[in-house]
Each structure stands twice: as structure tokens, then as C-alpha cells.
Amino acid sequence: MLKFDKLSLNVPETTKPRVVIIGGGFGGINLAKKLSGKDFQVVMFDKQNYHGFWPLLYQVATAGLEPDAIAEPLRKLFDEDYEDFHFRLVRVTGVNPAAKTVQTLIGDLQYDHLIIATGTKPNYFGNQQIQKYAFPLKTIPEALNLRSQFLQSFEQASITKDPATRQSLLNFVIVGAGPTGVELAGSLAEMRKHVLPGDYPGLDFSQMNIYLVEGLDRVLPPMSPEASEKTHQYLADMGVNIKLKTLVESYDGEIVTFKGGEQIPSQTLVWAAGVTGSLIEGLPPEIVARGGRLPVNEFNQVQGYSDIYAIGDIAFMKTEKYPNGHPGVAQPAIQQGQHLAKNLRRQFRGEKMEPFEYFDKGSLAIIGRSRAVADLPGKMHLSGFFAWVIWLFVHIYYLIGFRSKLIVLSNWIYRLFTYERGTRLIIRPFVRKEDKAAQEFVEKNEMS
């Protein structure tokens, strides 16, 4: 299979305006859903065939949920009552604004409206060594790789002869104390307390260390100081080693070296320290704003264009209330997608577009069972059990697709009463490509 010389995009000709959406994330799918009807032909490109509910990705990494619980096939989201919708599993390689075409490896496609909803990717700030050895956590394959890495670390720690190697296998360093880093650290701490000692009776889990490293002066910097403080206290109670105002200088797969010289031996460094926009070739590089984002006006039009839009994490919309752009979470993407659909309809009817305004529904983060923090509208701050219940309901409510909701709900209820986690299967081979000894070991041993 995969003969790209024999493939073509195969999108039917149309007299309707063609809306091309690059990316099936929160922004892309909400836009596409609201465009359903007779006015537009809608084409969506994504390099994955599914939409992921990324706020729960850390649960896949810690074996709390399986991938199917947090993802829905894009084809399934749009398969009914949506005649002129066309999903194509292909990566966009560029855009030609002058010709109004999107370029892919298997052909170009003319657009009337182009929406860039490509989101972000990890930002290693140019450090190629870290990029090579660190574990990112932005996609489902990455979450499964990280899960295998965690589980294999415990397996290996169980049978190592060398105490220094064992310690290095049991030191987990998470860089970046945003929501992903905090939730991952909390989840690992709960596993250490409730799950792992039963699975690995031969290991002394007082030797397992979870380091959460943050360059700024508090955890959860996007949230309120109240939420940060409470989260810090929760994590400390759960035995997470928090290192604030600390930057990673280098990581060679064995030793984490911090700026200032301190070193921690660790086989596992998770990189959750920052993101940068997933840009597309063909737009003028000089317009790109901070964080690799595309500057847009209040209608989400990319600077200099009236037919190219950016929504979600890739968009940088400077407003009075959000001088640094909107937070890189699901809500702005969802709202921009829905709003842009309305504006495209307005254009279609010859009406004026309306400016986007972000409605902040609040922020949530979960640290562990019965431990969450919430910043609600009106400067209300919650923490503890009640925030945790809100977190549960909000996440279940927004999870897309009936089946996922049911599975996530039943898994949570089950875990609520048993502390048992989901499956801990090592189903993916994972060794670093550069690691010849590991490769050899796997080949000889077929361990994975």
C-alpha cells in the first residue's frame, strides 16, 4: 500500500464556496460542524485520522485510559447528514496564497476560504540534544511511548544489578509545570502510592523520585496565584519534588543538567516545557508572532489576507484583555471555530462579519483524586474535592462522542472505588533509535 504516485485528493468539483480546514483539533471540528448545510463544500485535512481530547492525554501516558477513550475518528464525527464534507488523511505541505491553493504531496487544491487550525508542537528552544532524548507528550503515539517507557523502567529497575542504574531508572523528570506537567506529576505520584507497589513487590518505591521542573516562580503559571499555591501544596503533600526557577541546560539520555550545574541521573525526561505553532510553508515568515503563532485580526483573518484564517492555538489575536493572545487551551479554539463559522455564513449572505470575543469559562487542573483547582469566572477560586467534581463533569461533558464518554465515566467510577488503574500493557516497542545497545537487546531478546 501507500503508493503516493497513484493517489490524488479526489475532491469533487463544486460551484459552492470551498472551505479548506487544515487540522481536526478543537477549532477545526467545531468550525466544520457549524458549517454543515447547503452553503459550503468543506474539506478537512489532517495527518491523523482522529480527533483527540488532549486535556486527558496524560491519562493515556499513565495507563489510566486507553487511546480510544480520548479520541474519535474524524470520519465518524462527520459521517451523518453532512453531504459535502470531505476528510483526507494527508499532510499539507504548503499554501500558495496568490494561486489560492493548498499543497499536499498528492496534489493541490483550490480554496475559497482557508482555515489554518494546525495547533502547536513541542518547543525545544533549539536544543537538539534534548529534542533527541526527551519524551514529548502531544500525540497518542507519544503518550503510548511514554507509558511503555514508564512500565519498562519499573521492569528494568526490578532486575538491575547496579544501584546507580536502578536509581536512574526510578528518577522521573518532568520539565514544565503547566497543566500537562502538573497532571502527569500528580498521576505518577498516585501510581507510586496506590498501584506500583502491588505490581512490583520487589522494588522499594521510596526510591522513586518525581521531579517537576519549572522555569518561572510558580507551578501552573497560566492560572491564578491562589490555584498555583494550592497546587504546589497538593503536589508537595504527594511527594513530588518541585524545582521552581530552574532551567534545563542539557540532557544526554542519562543525566539531566540544570543551569547552575546541578545534575540528576534519569532515564526519563518528559518535555512539557513549551509549545510553538505548527506553521505551514508559503506564508511570509516576517508576520509570524511570538510562540510561532500567526497574527490574526478580530475576525481571525491572518495578517495581510482576507481569505486565510487561523483559529485555536496557532492564532495570535491581541486584544485589550489578552495582550499576549488567548490561553492555549481548548475553549478559545472551540469558540473561535464556532464564531468563524457564523462569520463565513455572514459573508455568504453578504453581511458584515462580527468580531470575536472570548468568553472565559474558567480554568481547571487536576492533581489527584479529590484534589483539583479551579479558577471560575468572577475571580472565584476553588480547590479540593468540589473542584475535582467540577473537573470530572466538565471533562466528561466536553468529551466528544457518546462511546468515549461512557468508557471514561465507567473507568473513572471504577477507579474511584478501587484505586485500580487501567491496563498496564507494554504493547509498543520502544527504544531510542540512536541507542544501539538497546536495539541489539531488543532484537536479541524480543522484549517488546
Catalytic residues: 183
C-beta closer to a second copy: residue 199 or 249: 199
The residue whose grid cell reads 486527558 is 56
Least Å from the CB of residue 206 to a second copy: 18
The answer to whether 78 touches 31, Cβ cutoff 8 Å, is no
In angstroms, the Cα distances linking 344 to 302, 306, 309 are: 15, 11, 11
The answer to whether 58 touches 137, Cβ cutoff 8 Å, is yes
Stretch that binds a second copy, among 25-33, 119-127, 154-162, 216-224 (CB under 8 A): 154-162
Q: DSSP readout, 236-260?
A: HHTT-EEE-S--EEEE-SSEEEETT
Where are the alpha helices (H) located in 178-263, listed in sequence order?
179-194, 196-199, 225-237
Using rule CB under 8 A, residue 420 touches a second copy: yes
Least Å from the CB of residue 196 to a second copy: 10
- The CB density around residue 445, as the number of other CB atoms within 10 Å, is 8
Least Å from the CB of residue 54 to a second copy: 14
Stretch that binds a second copy, among 73-81, 205-213, 339-347, 359-367 (CB under 8 A): 73-81
Site string for a second copy, 51-70 (x = CB under 8 A): ---------------xxx--
Least Å from the CB of residue 334 to a second copy: 21
Using rule CB under 8 A, residue 48 touches a second copy: yes
C-beta closer to a second copy: residue 10 or 128: 10
Contact pick of 22, 40, 62, 88 for a second copy (by CB under 8 A): 88
Work out whether strand 41-46 and strand 85-89 pair parallel, antiparallel, or are unpaired. parallel
Query: How far is the C-alpha of 235 from the C-alpha of 230, rounded, in Å?
Result: 9
Site string for a second copy, 428-447 (x = CB under 8 A): xx-x---x-xx--xx-xxxx
Query: How far is the C-alpha of 147 from the C-alpha of 211, rounded, in Å?
Result: 17
Q: What residues from 301 to 340 belong to the interface with a second copy (CB under 8 A)?
A: none
- Which H or E run contains 320? none
Q: Angle 417-422-177 (CA atoms, 0-180°, nearest 5)?
A: 95
Query: How far is the C-alpha of 330 from the C-alpha of 335, rounded, in Å?
Result: 9
DSSP 3-state of 52: strand
Query: How far is the C-alpha of 49 from the C-alpha of 72, rounded, in Å?
Result: 9
Contact pick of 13, 38, 80, 81 for a second copy (by CB under 8 A): 80
Q: What residues from 268 to 287 belong to the interface with a second copy (CB under 8 A)?
A: 268
Q: What residues from 216 to 275 belong to the interface with a second copy (CB under 8 A)?
A: 267-268
Q: How many CA atoms lie within 13 A of 388 on its CB side?
A: 14
Positive or negative, the Cα torsion across 30, 33, 39, 43?
positive
The answer to whether 115 touches 25, Cβ cutoff 8 Å, is no
C-beta closer to a second copy: residue 105 or 380: 105
C-beta closer to a second copy: residue 172 or 234: 172
Least Å from the CB of residue 241 to a second copy: 21
Q: What residues from 348 to 407 belong to the interface with a second copy (CB under 8 A)?
A: 403, 406-407
Least Å from the CB of residue 421 to a second copy: 10
Q: How many residues at the interface with a second copy, by CB under 8 A?
A: 79
Least Å from the CB of residue 90 to a second copy: 7
Using rule CB under 8 A, residue 81 touches a second copy: no
Using rule CB under 8 A, residue 86 touches a second copy: yes
Contact pick of 14, 33, 34, 90 for a second copy (by CB under 8 A): 90
The residue whose grid cell reads 465518524 is 76
Query: How far is the C-alpha of 222 from the C-alpha of 139, rounded, in Å?
Result: 22
Q: Which residues, 6 or more positions from 86, have their beta carbon under 8 angstroms from its beta carbon?
A: 11, 12, 41, 42, 43, 44
Q: What residues from 104 to 143 belong to the interface with a second copy (CB under 8 A)?
A: 105-106, 140-141
C-beta closer to a second copy: residue 65 or 310: 65
CA-derived radius of gyration, the chain: 23
Least Å from the CB of residue 239 to a second copy: 22
Contact pick of 81, 98, 126, 159 for a second copy (by CB under 8 A): 159
Stretch that binds a second copy, among 2-10, 184-192, 232-240, 382-390 (CB under 8 A): 2-10
The residue whose grid cell reads 478580530 is 298
Q: What residues from 28 to 47 belong to the interface with a second copy (CB under 8 A)?
A: 47
